[in-house]
Structure 1
Amino acid sequence: MTMTRRPFTRLLATACLAAPLPLLAAAPAALDSDNETLARGAYLATASDCTACHTAPGGQPMAGGLEIASPLGAIIATNITPSKSHGIGDYSEADFVRALREGIRADGANLYPAMPYTAYGHLSDADIHALYVYFMEGVAPVDTPTAETALPFPMNLRVAMKGWNLLFHDAEPLEDDPERSAEWNRGRYLVEGPGHCSSCHTPRGFFMQERDDQALTGAQVGPWYAPDITPDVAAGIGSWRHDELVTYLRTGKLDQAQAAGSMAEAIEHSFQHLTEDDLGAIATYLEALPTAESSSQARSRFDHGEPGDELASFRGDGYAAGLSGDSRGAQLYSANCSSCHQADGSGTDDGYYPRLYQNGVLGDVNATNLIATILYGVDREVGDEHVFMPPFGEQPNAFNALNNDDVAVLANYLLARFGETDDDGHPILQVSADEVQEIREGGPRSPLILLARIGLGVGVVVLALLGLWLIRRRKARRR
């Protein structure tokens, strides 16, 4: 799995958001002037990671158009520039507040919770006001339409979200806990409010609601898996020191973990631009979280595997023989990964090419992130460093396209050599070509659509039968 360095190129949207950061303190301050309110709003938009979803690759800042994978289908991020024709330029502040707190657009239609209003509802009134000022005055209007989200029936009926909100949404602003420190309260506010960490890291229930009893214990997010970030030593990040957690939030890189997918976007567009005080507060809050009682992981996901070189196993066999025999995984590793991660998986001394043993992606409860990393690569810009690993899936920009069977064989080699194994030395996880195809298609799909259609169909039949029964009953009475 090769990585290449490229010259640093910062997205314009990130530059626009990051520019006012030196003007801001770690905690909310009094709104003394319009400039201060604007700067505060820019910082909050950065903390909320609005760019990651609302700026498409190569597109204008906040102009939308990005397809967001969900278990129910693709959701298209909208234009949230102050364009009056295609954005939110006609939103009053009350409209803006309603969208962030209740998930309701200015036209009265419900938003899907892919826009994390379930978290933004916890923002203070002052912070929502600052965000409104920023989006109306600090973002350039882009008069470009975006495609409409078109989820399959019946999920395309946005009115159903009214019932969902009644059951699962709490729009109340967070209040400080007087029993906790100011740093803990600030960290909770950032994690549960603008940072909306639970939107990715908390498992979802049958109706796609967040499982509060398993908060931040890990969840599927499209083709990636957002891991457990509780202090659980085995399943979570309880083995990390406070400074390591802060470093990861700022850079996306530790010896045992590297940010990719949506977390890489969060690091690039959001976390690296936050103040050290805010990053420290987030770490303090995460370190104080309760751990999940249901965790089945016995050993830390960062404590497994060792360096080892099995490439000699296919030497002298010939290329074709190696690809059809037991050494196929080692041969795929040699051809695609070893030049950067080294033959024994030890990576490079500076950590730019990470080691593969004692690495969280190979010790997690599932192989989702291993598969996704092979298929989609890693692309993360932090400061003046561009961390890049090319994708190896069958796609136009793939470095050396691998089919589903190739990816499964390579993944199983990596799991056996550097991952978690049982007492007999067999890998705990086994990847199939079908699992690779599922990740290639954007991740697992929810059965909710099919079940909802069945439920609606049954309801229609019941109503039809009830109608026929009433008609016959009336006719019988007339006789």
Structure 2
Amino acid sequence: MKRQLLNRLVMANLLLMPLCGSAFAADQASGDQADLIKRGEYLSRAGDCMACHSVPGKPDYAGGLPIKSDLGVIYSTNITPDKNVGIGNYTEEQFSDAVREGIRADGSHLYPAMPYPDYAKVNDEDIKALYAYFMHGVKASDYQPPKTDLSFPFSQRWGMMFWNWTFGNDDGFEPIKGASDEVNRGAYLVEGLGHCGSCHTPRGVGMQEKAYDHTDEDFLAGGDLNGWPVPPLRGIAHWTKQEIIDYLQTGRNDKAGVGGEMTSVVYNSTSHMTDEDAASIAAYIKHLAGDDKPAAVDAAKAQATTDKLTSAKDLTLGERLYIDNCAACHFVDGKGAAKAFPQLDGASIVNADSPDGLINVILKGAQLPSTEKAPSELKMPGFAHRLDDNEVAMLASFIRSGWNNNAPGVTAEDVKKVRESLE
């Protein structure tokens, strides 16, 4: 009797073993898929997909952001897994073609407002994770964003194949020989997913990025975005590695505060990166600096500006306006307050060839984003209602020539153009 019972128990265990193995395998597969989706979510942040494909009041990734270009306004598309207006019917291969080659599932071409020439460097593993996230980690939305309707001939998307042949890029990522793993991780993020070159690299005659990687000196050499001067990243010699990390994670450091389009990049993308990835980007940027040294400081000139503002005697209109409107936060020495009020002495936006960025900030103001490591939203008020065009010109001219700054003056006409663009 006991022997029969034992035999039955053994037989039952043998029958159950395949079932238990299947359940374990299913749980393992489910766990692997969850990890892949989580990885894809992180990569979507690194690629700044949220910033371009989301607008306030609409579901995440449902599109509709108007992107200004010299060709007209291009609206971002719905990239949720909705099967009618989104990408729910895309295969992984079609998703890869859209991201890395700019070709939609229906065979039509995307405009390079979608930075697919940069995303060409994204590897297969990361494409797989991104696909898993957008198919299974994003909530589907049936919101239909406005359709892009450019004038002829730019409305003919098939013509983009010729642009791609002439100006595009389909080269995968090539590690920097002899560089550390940290530097190469930074290069992969900056040149690929981060598509930093789309803003920080000058554009050519076809509105293309003049370079797509570190091998060309034009890469990250600075540019212009909707009237804003975009500073070069190719060797920020005057910032330490930690200051670059702070800027990426919080939008501020001891020297500067974020402004313009970069505010959205910090808020939606770089502030969500791991400490290791932020450090790798900083290491790559410092690697590009090589042996570059910070610009020489003219201590006597800087002190002369500080002394005159301190004495408050025989001030020009620009100097008086600075004392009345700016000195409380940026101080008479133009140094500001670390991680709070940006430094004006030596600032890139102040010394840019174009004064439009500085004028924009004076008129419109600026606000530092709230991030996990710097939750405070410090805000500079705009002075458009308080200062007329001539006054803004005089104030900007003083700032661009005071302390160690040495940039051309600003005219009332310069200010008028920026004011009209804001209105």
TM-score (norm 2): 0.81
**Paired AA for residue 358 in structure 2:** L
Which deviations, in whole Å up to 9, do the C-alpha atoms of 1:55-110 show, x marking residues without a partner? 22343211222222223332222222222232222222222111111111222221
The alpha carbon displacement at 1:290 in A equals 6.5
The partner residue of 1:356 within 334, 344, 347 is 344
Matched, 1:159 2:176: no
The alpha carbon displacement at 1:240 in A equals 2.1
The equivalent residue for 2:5 is none
The equivalent residue for 2:397 is 412
Distance 1:132 1:440 in 2: 42
The equivalent residue for 2:282 is 283
1:170 is paired with a residue whose SS is coil
Matched, 1:50 2:49: yes
Matched, 1:436 2:421: no
**Paired AA for residue 258 in structure 2:** A
Distance 1:120 1:107 in 2: 20
Distance 2:322 2:336 in 1: 13
- The answer on whether the counterparts of 2:88 and 2:135 sit within 8 Å (CA) in structure 1 is yes
The partner residue of 1:389 within 374, 380, 383 is 380
The alpha carbon displacement at 1:344 in A equals 5.3
Seen in structure 2, the aligned counterparts of structure 1 residues 441 and 163 have a Cα distance that, compared at 3 Å, is farther
Select between 407-416 and 91-100 the one with higher mean Cα deviation.
407-416
Distance 1:417 1:64 in 2: 44
Distance 2:408 2:349 in 1: 12
- The answer on whether the counterparts of 2:54 and 2:63 sit within 8 Å (CA) in structure 1 is yes
Distance 2:291 2:177 in 1: 25
Equivalence map 1:110-125=2 (5 Å): 110-125=109-124
The equivalent residue for 2:16 is none
Distance 2:419 2:152 in 1: 24
- The answer on whether the counterparts of 2:340 and 2:378 sit within 8 Å (CA) in structure 1 is yes
**Paired AA for residue 182 in structure 2:** E
- The answer on whether the counterparts of 1:230 and 1:291 sit within 8 Å (CA) in structure 2 is no
Distance 1:431 1:402 in 2: 14
Select between 283-292 and 105-114 the one with higher mean Cα deviation.
283-292
The equivalent residue for 2:221 is 217
- The answer on whether the counterparts of 2:82 and 2:141 sit within 8 Å (CA) in structure 1 is yes
Seen in structure 2, the aligned counterparts of structure 1 residues 369 and 305 have a Cα distance that, compared at 3 Å, is farther
The alpha carbon displacement at 1:338 in A equals 3.5
Matched positions, count:
383
1:91 is paired with a residue whose SS is coil
Select between 179-188 and 41-50 the one with higher mean Cα deviation.
179-188
The alpha carbon displacement at 1:178 in A equals 5.6
1:225 is paired with a residue whose SS is strand
- The answer on whether the counterparts of 2:77 and 2:145 sit within 8 Å (CA) in structure 1 is yes
Distance 2:388 2:88 in 1: 46
- The answer on whether the counterparts of 1:301 and 1:364 sit within 8 Å (CA) in structure 2 is no
- The answer on whether the counterparts of 2:81 and 2:89 sit within 8 Å (CA) in structure 1 is yes
- The answer on whether the counterparts of 2:103 and 2:109 sit within 8 Å (CA) in structure 1 is yes
| Bigger Rg over Cα | 2
- The answer on whether the counterparts of 1:199 and 1:210 sit within 8 Å (CA) in structure 2 is yes
- The answer on whether the counterparts of 1:150 and 1:156 sit within 8 Å (CA) in structure 2 is yes
The equivalent residue for 1:23 is none
Matched, 1:230 2:209: no
Distance 2:357 2:35 in 1: 41
The alpha carbon displacement at 1:438 in A equals 4.1
The alpha carbon displacement at 1:442 in A equals 5.5
Structure 2 residue runs without a partner (length 5+): 1-29
The equivalent residue for 2:7 is none
Select between 244-253 and 200-209 the one with higher mean Cα deviation.
244-253
Matched, 1:340 2:329: yes
TM-score (norm 1): 0.72
Distance 2:353 2:294 in 1: 11
Distance 1:401 1:132 in 2: 50
The equivalent residue for 1:451 is none
Distance 2:150 2:160 in 1: 13
Which deviations, in whole Å up to 9, do the C-alpha atoms of 1:99-143 show, x marking residues without a partner? 111111222221111111111111111111111111111111222
Structure 1 residue runs without a partner (length 5+): 1-30, 232-236, 316-325, 394-399, 422-427, 444-479
RMSD: 3.1
The alpha carbon displacement at 1:163 in A equals 0.5
The alpha carbon displacement at 1:46 in A equals 0.6
Q: Greater helix percent: which structure?
A: 2
Q: How many percent identity over aligned positions?
A: 39
Distance 1:139 1:336 in 2: 46
Select between 332-341 and 279-288 the one with higher mean Cα deviation.
332-341
2:288 is paired with a residue whose SS is coil
- The answer on whether the counterparts of 1:69 and 1:442 sit within 8 Å (CA) in structure 2 is no
The equivalent residue for 2:266 is 267
Equivalence map 1:89-128=2 (5 Å): 89-128=88-127
Distance 1:407 1:156 in 2: 40
- The answer on whether the counterparts of 1:255 and 1:359 sit within 8 Å (CA) in structure 2 is no
Distance 2:97 2:350 in 1: 42
The alpha carbon displacement at 1:371 in A equals 1.6
- The answer on whether the counterparts of 2:231 and 2:349 sit within 8 Å (CA) in structure 1 is no
Distance 1:442 1:126 in 2: 43
**Paired AA for residue 377 in structure 2:** H
